[in-house]
């Protein structure tokens, strides 16, 4: 059993917390205030109840898993955590500041992991005294369903930290792991995001309808969902953040976010989580 701390109980943090409590860990989720903590608990409970209704786990196991979940609004409660996985929004300054705080609070042996989608790990570790304990552990949405976890080492990450989180994700959580180097987007998003923003550009240009773009990729290439539905699922704010981060890293036009993506995020159309994106979600 790992004493796991999860920072942020949004889509990704809640998913990580859920699979960890189901794997038997003691999990503490940090949120910014009580309302956000309550929302995070509700998110986890809803997903676990869905697993019960689909007979993926028994009601007893679900109850026991939920008994291993705690929420807090105080970072000082993370003092006893052996592993922390941060799942805050993709705002570099926010993550850097948070890791500096974690550095002071946690034991020097604790591993500090980030679920960043695209920000280089060494930049997040900038103000951590011993950056060898900072590592990228990147899950995919929806976390309970997608098998992959990317493990990202910065130039300073220790082989021990990499081995610990790889074993944790692979052997304990049952995920498939791949190793990636510390450059924007790692392996998967460096390939996925240009495809998503190209699809948005194609729609924005009026060349094809959103339905035809999605139908084309589902039926022509066997993808489980088309690129505009997938963008809505990932969250348009996340797609924008990752595209900006990739553009910042590589300065290549195919990473540049299209104006329509920016306008939708500015309008609050974030996809499934806000009820509206390329499609409407009741």
Which stretches of the chain bind ligand CAA, using CB under 6 A? 47, 54, 117, 140-142, 144-146, 189, 192, 224-225, 230, 234, 238, 242
Q: Which is nearer to ligand CAA, 106 or 114 (CB)?
A: 114
Pick from 132, 140, 134, 89: nearest CA to 114: 134
The answer to whether 98 touches 78, Cβ cutoff 8 Å, is no
Give the helix ranges, DSSP H, for 57-91.
59-67
Q: Least separation, in Å, of the C-beta of 44 and ligand CAA?
A: 11
Q: Which is nearer to ligand CAA, 11 or 164 (CB)?
A: 11
Q: Looking at 47, 115, 117, 231, which residue is catalytic?
A: 117
For 257, which DSSP code? Answer: P
22 token code pair: 């189901």
The burial class, CB within 10 Å (0-12 / 13-18 / 19+), for 224 is exposed
Q: Least separation, in Å, of the C-beta of 74 and ligand CAA?
A: 28
- What is the DSSP secondary-structure string of 100-163? HHHHHHS-TT-EEEE--SSS-HHHHTTT-S-GGGEEEEEE-SSTTT--EEEEE--TT--HHHHH
Q: Least separation, in Å, of the C-beta of 139 and ligand CAA?
A: 7
The answer to whether 156 touches 136, Cβ cutoff 8 Å, is no
Active-site residue flag, 189: yes
Q: Least separation, in Å, of the C-beta of 51 and ligand CAA?
A: 7
Q: Looking at 150, 153, 231, 244, which residue is catalytic?
A: 150
Q: Which is nearer to ligand CAA, 44 or 112 (CB)?
A: 44
Rounded Cα gap, residues 234 and 211, in angstroms:
18
Rounded Cα gap, residues 107 and 74, in angstroms:
16
Q: Looking at 31, 115, 138, 245, which residue is catalytic?
A: 138
Q: Looking at 189, 231, 244, 245, which residue is catalytic?
A: 189
Q: Which is nearer to ligand CAA, 43 or 68 (CB)?
A: 43
Active-site residue flag, 150: yes
Q: Least separation, in Å, of the C-beta of 213 and ligand CAA?
A: 15
Active-site residue flag, 223: no
Active-site residue flag, 115: no
Q: Which is nearer to ligand CAA, 129 or 191 (CB)?
A: 191
Q: Would you name the residues annotated as active-site residues?
A: 117, 138, 150, 189
């Amino acid at each position: 059993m790992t004493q796991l701390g999860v920072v942020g109980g949004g889509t990704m943090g809640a998913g990580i917390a859920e699979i960890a409590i189901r794997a038997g860990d003691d999990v503490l989720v940090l949120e910014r205030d009580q309302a956000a903590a309550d929302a995070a608990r509700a998110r986890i409970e809803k997903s676990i109840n869905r697993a019960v209704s689909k007979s993926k786990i028994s009601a007893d196991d679900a109850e026991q898993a939920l008994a291993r979940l705690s929420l807090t609004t105080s970072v000082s409660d993370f003092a006893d955590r052996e592993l922390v996985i941060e799942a805050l929004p993709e705002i570099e300054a926010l993550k850097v500041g948070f890791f500096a705080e974690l550095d002071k609070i946690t034991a020097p042996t604790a591993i500090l992991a980030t679920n960043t989608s695209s920000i280089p790990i060494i930049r997040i570790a900038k103000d951590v005294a011993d950056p060898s304990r900072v590592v990228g552990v990147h899950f995919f949405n929806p976390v309970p369903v997608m098998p992959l976890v990317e493990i990202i080492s910065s130039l300073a990450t220790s082989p021990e930290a990499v081995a610990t989180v790889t074993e944790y994700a692979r052997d304990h959580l049952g995920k498939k792991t791949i190793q990636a180097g510390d450059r924007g987007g790692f392996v998967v998003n460096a390939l996925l995001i240009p495809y998503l923003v190209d699809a948005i550009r194609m729609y924005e240009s009026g060349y094809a309808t959103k339905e035809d773009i999605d139908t084309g990729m589902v039926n022509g290439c066997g993808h489980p969902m088309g690129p505009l539905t997938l963008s809505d699922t990932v969250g348009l704010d996340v797609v924008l953040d990752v595209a900006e981060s990739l553009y910042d890293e590589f300065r290549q036009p195919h990473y540049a976010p299209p104006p329509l993506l920016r306008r939708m995020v500015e309008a609050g159309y974030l996809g499934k989580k806000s009820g509206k994106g390329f499609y409407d979600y009741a």
